[in-house]
Amino acid sequence: MSTTTAQPNRPVPPRIKRDIFPNPPPIEEAKTASKDSQKSSKIQELLDRKLLEKLNGPLLPKPMDLCDLLAADIERPPELVHGLLHKGSKMVIGGGSKSFKTWSLLDLAISIAAGVPWWGFEVEQGRVLYINFEIQDAFFRSRADDVMDAKDCKIDAGQFTYWGLRGYAAEFGRLVPKITEETKDKELALIVIDPIYKGLGDRDENKAGDIAGLLNEIERLAVQTGAAVAFGHHFSKGNQAGKDSMDRIGGSGVFARDPDTILTMTKHAEEDAFTIEAILRNFPPIDPFVMKRIHPLMWRDDNLNPNDLKQAGPSKEKYSDEQILESLKDEPKATMDWQQDVVDRLGMSASNFMIRKRQLVSNGSVRKEGKEWVRVMKPGVKTSFMNGQNERELQ
């Protein structure tokens, strides 16, 4: 009879978790990685560059010996607006309030997209991105229609990209990556940013360091896209006729020194006309000229003298005192009745009427009797006011 020897109980080794070891890549992934090795290398190079820039600041080009620079075959950037603007450059249009800066920038953008002259300058046709921070889409559309009709031009699909960001303004540095991402395959010739102050964020437009930072970001956009970047900026307060053209642009002086092309629009003595002065970094100087506004475009008028600027001084009133007082010729009137008569008869705004009424009270031309206004005649001047059946003569 055989006997069986009992085996001692052996400890069971702990179960090894497979996920603590790296799995070898699947065969298909390895094949894909092999095919895309060049692309991966470029991506890694870009990541390394961004990491180094984050740690040490931007990577700088190496210094060059002047002889090497002179011998190098460096191609100039193409002219976008002949005699005014190269691709990859920055341009600012400076002007006072209601000087049609936005209309002029829209005209520029449409001219580039359609390949038609702008302000009398020949252009090279190219793709355009217009970033609008201010005007509602419906009104921008109407303006674009008006400009294209006036210029009798059409724009092919893909030539003009509109980006309506009203209500989404943010510090421009945060927008640059989004802009470059959205436009990376478009080969843009021009980017318009309107208005530029919407990209200030927490910056102070009167501080040189803050504005230098903003314009550096715009320059980075121009370098990354290869497109010219154009924007508008306001003049400082007050009459501009006695100032140098570079001193007219408001805020920090960096606005008037940093861009490659600076165009100032200063009010001319002629109504709805503006003297244009150009400060050019990379082109020969050009003489000032005059553009006259005929809705919806600015038209060059060589018959006007660019030096005949609108001067400071009391402006001529559009409506005379006598025209306003005409309402009180036959009878006194309450304030609202008098105002309504002037508004209906002359087309004057209600706010302007109230200003002029205060002036008439101050110079003694009218006085109030109860709730009604009565005209006060100067000595020796006679008039009649009919109040019901009573006629009163004032001397």
Q: Could you tell me the sign of the dihedral formed by the alpha carbons of 200, 202, 208, 214, in that order? A: negative
Overall average pLDDT of the 12-18 stretch: 46
Band of pLDDT at residue 334, cut at 50, 70 and 90 = very high
pLDDT of 4 strictly over 60: no
- Average pLDDT (197-224) is 77
- How distant, in Å, are the alpha carbons of 59, 163, 219, 235, 313 from that of 216? 15, 22, 5, 21, 39
pLDDT given for residue 310 in this prediction: 78
Instruction: Flag the least confident range among 2-6, 73-77, 341-345.
Output: 2-6
**Is the model's pLDDT at 170 over the cut of 60?**
yes
Tokens at 213, concatenated: 């930072």
What is the pLDDT at residue 45?
59
Query: What pairs with residue 390 in β-bridges?
Result: 387
* Mean pLDDT in residue range 176-201: 84
- 300 neighbors 291 (Cβ within 8 angstroms): yes
The whole-chain average pLDDT of the chain stands at: 79
Report, in angstroms and rounded to the nearest whole number, the Rg of the chain calculated over CA atoms: 35
Average pLDDT over residues 251-272: 79
Question: What's the rounded mean pLDDT across residues 265-275?
Answer: 91
Which residue carries 């004032």 as its tokens? 394
- More confident of the two residues 212 and 338: 338
HEC profile for 116-139? CCECCECECCCEEEEEECCCCHHH
What pLDDT score was predicted for residue 235?
56
Give the 3-state secondary structure of residue 359. Answer: helix
Reply yes or no on whether the pLDDT at 199 is more than 50: yes
Q: Please say whether the dihedral angle defined by the alpha carbons of residues 135, 138, 139 and 142, taken in this order, is positive or negative.
A: positive
Report whether the peptide linkage leading into residue 332 is cis, meaning its omega lies within 30 degrees of zero: no
pLDDT at position 30: 52
pLDDT category at 244 given cuts 50, 70, 90 is: very low
Q: What is the pLDDT of residue 184?
A: 78
pTM score of the predicted model: 0.62
In this prediction, residue 316 carries a pLDDT of 56
**Quick check: 236 pLDDT over 70?**
no
Determine how β-strand 273-280 pairs with β-strand 261-267: antiparallel
The pLDDT of residue 55: 54
Average pLDDT over residues 63-76: 93
Calpha distance 131→190 (Å, rounded): 11
pLDDT recorded at residue 392:
37
Question: Which has more confidence, 73 or 394?
Answer: 73
* CA pair distance 327, 149, nearest whole angstrom: 43
pLDDT of residue 88: 95
pLDDT, tens digit, 9 for 90 and up, residues 81-98: 999 999 999 999 988 877
pLDDT for the residue numbered 314: 53
Q: Smallest Cα–Cα separation from 121: which of 341, 335, 286?
A: 286
State which H helix or E strand residue 218 sits in. Answer: helix 208-225
* Number of residues that make up the chain: 395
103 neighbors 298 (Cβ within 8 angstroms)? yes
- Provide the pLDDT confidence category of residue 100 given band limits of 50, 70 and 90: very high
H/E stretch holding 221: helix 208-225
Helix axes 27-35, 37-56, angle to 10 degrees: 70
What average pLDDT score do residues 283-304 get? Answer: 95
Band (pLDDT 50/70/90 cuts) for residue 56 is low
Q: Which whole number is the average pLDDT over 42-46?
A: 56
Pairing of strands 127-132, 372-375: unpaired
Report the amino acid identity of residue 346. Answer: L
Higher-confidence residue of 380 and 311: namely 311
Position 218 pLDDT exceeds 90:
no
CA 299 – CA 120 distance, rounded (Å): 8
Distance CA 374, CA 10 (A): 121
Which pLDDT belongs to residue 217? 85
Domains of the chain: 79-300 (3.40.50.300), 321-393 (1.10.10)
Spatial distance between the Cα atoms of 321 and 88, rounded to a whole number of angstroms = 55
Q: How confident is the model at residue 350 (pLDDT cuts 50, 70, 90)?
A: confident
Determine which of 143-152, 231-240, 320-329 has the lowest per-residue pLDDT on average: 231-240
3-class SS of residue 47 = helix
Q: What is the pLDDT of residue 276?
A: 95
